[in-house]
Amino acid sequence: MTAQSPSLPRPVWPALLRGWRQRCPACGTGAMYGKYLKVVDTCATCGQELHHHRADDAPPYFTMLIVGHVVVGSVLSVEMRYHPELWVHMVLWGPVTLGLSLWLLPRIKGALIGLQWALRMHGFGSAPDPALPEIWPPVAARASSRL
């Protein structure tokens, strides 16, 4: 992998789409996940380090937001148009909600990791990560003062 200058912009939309396809945001060919939601430490194809992503609670939040709007809108639409029995709603919308959530979650997480890579957030850039707190006083200074 060649090192990029921190001044060169990374393309945001291709990185988002690569992440959505669960591929490395840098090369687009390596797999992003080793398991369902476990991000690999480094891309097997290009060597891009992916371990410093910080997706945290954003993917489940966006998944719930999208699935909630789609399912509630669909439930209301079906109810207003067909007036099915209550058991039909229970049988239909439970699996739809679960299936849509499980399908969307890794894709949304991948897109967020791609966005972080494109914007050089959380260690994806060559500069130190500004999100990490600086240790003050520096550890080396504290250690030498004890000697």
State pLDDT tens for residues 70-97: 999 999 999 999 999 999 999 999 999 9
User: What does the pLDDT read at residue 90?
Assistant: 94
Tens-digit pLDDT profile for residues 117-126:
999 998 887 5
pTM value?
A: 0.79
Domain boundaries, the chain: 12-126
Question: What is the three-class DSSP state of 76?
Answer: helix
pLDDT at residue 36, rounded to an integer:
95
Rounded to a whole number of angstroms, the distance between the first and last alpha carbons of the chain is 42
pLDDT value of residue 5: 52
Q: What is the pLDDT of residue 127?
A: 46
- Can you give the three-state secondary structure of 97-135, one letter per residue? HHHHHHHHHHHHHHHHHHHHHHCCCCCCCCCCCCCCCCC
* Averaged pLDDT score across all residues of the chain: 86
User: Which residue bears the tokens 């239909």?
Assistant: 92
Regions in the chain scoring below 50 on pLDDT: 1-3, 127-137, 139, 142
User: How much is the pLDDT for 97?
Assistant: 98
The pLDDT, as a whole number, for residue 8 is 78
What does the pLDDT read at residue 104?
A: 98
Q: Where are the alpha helices (DSSP H) in the chain?
A: 12-20, 58-82, 86-118, 139-146
Is there a contact between 89 and 96 (Cβ–Cβ < 8 Å)?
no
